[in-house]
Every structure is written in structure tokens, then in C-alpha cells.
Amino acid sequence: MTASAAEQLRKEGNELFKCGDYEGALTAYTQALGLGATPQDQAILHRNRAACHLKLEDYDKAETEASKAIEKDGGDVKALYRRSQALEKLGRLDQAVLDLQRCVSLEPKNKVFQEALRNIGGQIQEKVHE
């Protein structure tokens, strides 16, 4: 029974997120986590919460949530990508690069990951020359 309730809340959260209600989505995902979701679902909920925090520009929390998702599922490219975005915003470019390299190795054809890696590479070069 609990799985379907958690599933319902997750869908509700997704709808709220699409509408731009990131606070509301965050609440729904948090409630879903409280219902004892499976590890796989927990990973999804944590990475969804990371997406909310990114939108709300709370990058520390975004990084924490993405890391929780990655602990549950090391091959979660969405979580890795979201963590790299948070790390980039926090100025931790070296760590962001590591996450992006993992994304690229997991999905070599993904243009978004390739592009992000190039951008961060450029930022690191600029820092070296400052």
C-alpha cells in the first residue's frame, strides 16, 4: 500500500515541478520519502529534490540531495549531472568535472553532458590564467 501512496506523491511532485511550484514539489517528494520508498525510488526522490533545490538556487542542499541519490544508485546519471550543476555553482569545479566525466562515460553520446564538460573545462582554464 505504501509504495502506491509514495508513487502518487512523486507524480504529484512532478506535476508541481512542471508548473514551477518547486517548494510544493519539494514537500511532495519529502512526504513520499517518509513513506518508506524502495532504495530505487529513494534515489529518484532524492534526485528530484536536488532538481528543486537547483531551481530554488539552494546549491548546498542540491549537492547533498544528489549525493544521497548517488549513494543509493551510483549509475544515476541524472543525479550525477544535477550534482555537477550544484558543484559548479558552488565553485567546486574540479569535483563537478569528475561527476560530468562519469556522466559522459555512462552516456557517451549525450550532447548535454559533453557540452557541460566543455564549459567547465573552459572555466577551469580561465581560473588557471587569472
Number of domains in the chain: 1
Whole-prediction pTM? 0.90
- Give the per-residue pLDDT at 1: 42
CB atoms closer than 10 angstroms to residue 8: 13
Average pLDDT, the chain: 92
Measured between alpha carbons, how far is 44 from 55 in angstroms, rounded to an integer? 17
Query: Are 107 and 113 within 8 A, CB to CB?
Result: yes
pLDDT at 13 over 60: yes
- Residue 64's domain comprises 5-129
Mean pLDDT in residue range 98-124: 93
| CA–CA dist 67, 61 (Å, integer) | 10
- Contact predicate 22/45, CB 8 Å: no
Q: What's 119's domain CATH number?
A: 1.25.40.10
For residues 101 and 1, what is the distance between their CA atoms, to the nearest angstrom?
39
Interval 57-69 mean pLDDT: 97
Q: What percent of the chain stands above pLDDT 70? A: 97
DSSP for 37-85?
--HHHHHHHHHHHHHHHHHTT-HHHHHHHHHHHHHH-TT-HHHHHHHHH
What is the average pLDDT across 25-43?
A: 88
| Arithmetic mean of pLDDT, 90-116 | 95
Closest CA to 100 of 116, 76, 121: 116
CA separation for the pair 91, 13 (Å, rounded) = 29
Tell me: pLDDT of 101 over 80. Answer: yes
